[in-house]
Amino acid sequence: MTAENVRIKPTKYRDLDAAACDRLFLKGRYLLTGLGIALLLVTMAVFLIHRELSFWLYLLIIVLIVFVFRLLLAMHLAGLYHILYTDCDPVKFLQLMEVQGKRLGKKAGRTTRHLIRAMALSYLEDWDAVYQELGQFQARQVKNRNLKYLHLNLLGDYCLAKDQREDFEACRQQLLKLGENGKARDKVFVDRVLLVWDRRIACLGQDRERERESLQKLLAEQKKYLIQVVIWNFRLAQLDLLEGREEDAEARLRFAAEYGNTLPVRAWAEELLERELQPLPEAWADREEKEERTGEKDHGNDTE
């Protein structure tokens, strides 16, 4: 188990409901906007008083203020996503999207909202709802490559969850084609998605050694999102139990239970912990019985 690379400290939104989160977000945005306007007015006043100053210097300062303002606004908006990534709370994140959707109107960012909702729903393992949201995302109309990658990522996850191998292969080829003309960071993202898919395929094929190797690589590379660390540690805990590593499994399950919040794996981890994690009896050598005992039969095969 490893979490030293990612943030585990709860966000300022952790103990608030969705409506309160939106109010706090708006308060911060208004504060940043007011500060930006104040700096622009001060700069204008200084220029009017000191006419000897270069106009180009004045223009440069204005550009810098606008740039910093936009950067701070983007960082402030990104903070909302940590409700999902750090607080591991897809339920509240989806509720917040509903609150903001009502405030902003149905047309504001409609296409992108469908994709973001699909991402949040994927963490809840609600694959039918994921597919519905993806169906409303107009991928051909979107020029942002990051959104295209995310769309293919989620579509591939859905195909594997539903065991639709031909559709998955078509999705995989689209991802590879999109990445061919991308930058170096595009290749890094494509490789990571392929590794995630490889992990899912190994799980479906009951290739536990290959799956463990993929999970360990994913955890070693994960430097941003606690939510992924929680999910992958839960799966490793199941593999530990199947291989008789009860102490390792217990540590991973307690980690998932502590940080899982509204993720399904939290409830699954707590359920396994309540079974006291006793070694599997020799008489339980049958694979199906082991899978049922460890929760793999219901929560580990990545399919519905």
Nearest Cα to Cα of residue 297 among 222, 217, 241, 226: 241
Contact call for residues 271 and 287 (beta carbons, < 8 A): no
Residues 6+ positions from 173 with CB-CB distance below 8 Å: none
Q: How far apart are CA 33 and CA 66, in angstroms?
A: 10
Q: How far apart are CA 90 and CA 263, in angstroms?
A: 7
Nearest Cα to Cα of residue 156 among 106, 119, 208, 107: 119
Extents of the domains making up the chain: 1-86, 224-304
Residues 6+ positions from 34 with CB-CB distance below 8 Å: none
Q: How far apart are CA 182 and CA 122, in angstroms?
A: 26
The predicted pLDDT at position 304 comes to 43
Contact call for residues 253 and 232 (beta carbons, < 8 A): no
The predicted pLDDT at position 58 comes to 84
In whole angstroms, how large is the CA radius of gyration of the chain?
23
Q: How far apart are CA 234 and CA 63, in angstroms?
A: 48
**pLDDT tens, per residue, the chain with 304 residues:** 555 667 889 999 999 999 999 999 999 999 999 999 999 999 888 888 877 778 788 888 899 999 999 999 999 999 999 999 999 999 999 999 999 988 776 665 677 899 999 999 999 999 999 999 999 888 877 888 889 999 999 999 999 999 999 999 999 999 999 888 778 788 888 999 999 999 999 999 889 999 999 999 999 888 789 999 999 999 999 999 988 888 889 999 999 999 999 999 999 999 998 875 555 455 445 555 556 656 565 555 554 4
Per-residue tokens: 242: 């199947």
The predicted pLDDT at position 303 comes to 45
Residues 6+ positions from 189 with CB-CB distance below 8 Å: 149, 179
Q: How far apart are CA 278 and CA 141, in angstroms?
A: 54
Contact call for residues 259 and 8 (beta carbons, < 8 A): yes
The predicted pLDDT at position 2 comes to 55
Mind spelling out the 3-state secondary structure of 225-280?
A: CHHHHHHHHHHHHHHHHHCCCHHHHHHHHHHHHHHCCCCHHHHHHHHHHCCCCCCC
